[in-house]
Amino acid sequence: MGNLTLTNVTKSFGTTDVIKGVNLRVEDGEFCVFVGPSGCGKSTLLRIIAGLEDASGGEIKIDGVPVNNTPPSKREIAMVFQSYALYPHLTVRDNMGLGLKQAGSSSAQVAQSVARASGMLSLDALLDRRPAELSGGQRQRVAIGRAIVRTPKLFLFDEPLSNLDAALRVNTRIEIARLHRELKATMVYVTHDQVEAMTLADKIVVLNAGRVEQVGRPMDLYNDPDNAFVAGFIGSPKMNFLKAAALGEAGETVGVRPEHLAISRESGAIPGRISHVEKLGSETLVYVRADPHGLLTVRQFGEQDFAVDEAVYLTADAARAFRFDANGLRMR
Ligand SMILES: Nc1ncnc2c1ncn2[C@@H]1O[C@H](COP(=O)(O)OP(=O)(O)OP(=O)(O)O)[C@@H](O)[C@H]1O
């Protein structure tokens, strides 16, 4: 397996700078997830690593070897996209084995590799079917199978679960996590799904407008964000940002996660009025209009009987609050 190093990687389309100097190291066997808002450059960066897009500047190394001028087929990578792109006229077996066959492996080697991958992904019963005879989830498993029949240096995934329904997403996510454990492969994975990022990653890279905001282990980003962007991006529902001045605090904003805001009818530091209540079964989200802070989200466990238009008070758990300056940087 391989490691990956990006040094000062930039990419412009015409006069638009899309990737603005990315430095990153992904270790051998690591599961690295790129997250960030739509248009921040996640897919572009992945395509640059794959060689499907040329970098405008900087260097890409796989296992210490510069690959800027190496075509995709020679980079020893395997890629899984959001659309499965299987050959409709080929069986599952042939779709999975095609890459190896084209690379010159013997029929026996192809058969052995396909059998191993199909066993890992529970595809044995489907090997003789064609893509049209499969469900969306099965097709995506075949696409993943096609990637793992080879032993590339790097696996690249571009939102591979986004076409699947909720239940299949969970199953396939768990399968990808298991595959990573079993293959001990280096994986770079693009998603906009919080849960996928938090549960799959050894390391999350938070991108914003073509720059890296922070790199870290999922719980480190959650518990110890460097800035308001990362604090607001990691965590669902999103962190609340309160006006520091109105709380008599230093800095610009005070970040408080919805689970760290207490709500009471009797007393509290921040008066407000309930504007909406969402009962989700295991938890209740209460949206409270509390000016000058705006609309704040409170997360309560279990079912709560708060009603729209009730006057309430909120209190932030000071020990769990984050303080940010006018530039959005964390004040530690
Ligand atoms: N071929 C291209 N020509 C011009 N602009 C492009 C091209 N490909 C991407 N872009 C622009 O580059 C920016 C980054 O796009 P990219 O697809 O990498 O974002 P992303 O973070 O993957 O977004 P999403 O989460 O919506 O898929 C966007 O503003 C996009 O419009």
Find all residues with CB under 8 Å of 9, minimum gap 6, and list them: 19, 21, 22, 23, 45, 48, 55, 57, 58, 59, 60
What is the model's pLDDT at position 135? 87
Q: Report the candidate in 245, 269, 264, 270 with the shortest Cα–Cα distance to residue 324.
A: 245
Question: What CATH number corresponds to the domain at position 300?
Answer: 2.40.50.140
Residue 331 falls inside a structural domain: no
Q: Give tens-digit pLDDT for 5-27.
A: 999 999 999 999 999 999 999 99
Its ipTM equals 0.96
DSSP state of 63: T
Structural domain range at position 260: 237-324
pLDDT > 70: percent of the chain: 100
Q: Pick the last residue of a domain from 229, 253, 285.
A: 229
Do 117 and 82 lie in a common domain? yes
What is the model's pLDDT at position 175? 86
Q: Give tens-digit pLDDT for 161-195.
A: 887 788 788 888 988 898 899 889 999 999 989 88
Residue 97 falls inside a structural domain: yes
Average model confidence (pLDDT) for the chain? 93
Question: What CATH number corresponds to the domain at position 174?
Answer: 3.40.50.300
Q: Are 161 and 5 in contact (CB under 8 A)?
A: no
User: Token match 């520091």: residue?
Assistant: 244
Quote the pTM value: 0.91
Residue 151 falls inside a structural domain: yes
For the CA of 159, the closest atom of ligand 1 is 27
Do 241 and 225 lie in a common domain? no
Alpha helices in the chain (DSSP H): 42-50, 92-102, 107-120, 136-148, 166-183, 194-200, 218-223, 228-233
What is the model's pLDDT at position 189? 97
Q: Measuring from each residue's beta carbon to the nearest atom of ligand 1, which residues come in under 6 Å?
A: 13, 18, 36, 38-44, 192
CA–centroid distance, 39 to ligand 1, in Å, is: 5
Extract the residue ranges of the chain whose pLDDT is less than 50: none
What residue's CA is closest to ligand 1, atom 6? 13
Q: CA 217, CA 192: separation in Å to the nearest integer? A: 17
Q: Are 179 and 120 in contact (CB under 8 A)?
A: yes
How long, in residues, is the chain? 332
Residue 249 falls inside a structural domain: yes
Do 163 and 195 lie in a common domain? yes
Do 170 and 275 lie in a common domain? no
Do 148 and 99 lie in a common domain? yes
Q: Are 229 and 213 in contact (CB under 8 A)?
A: yes
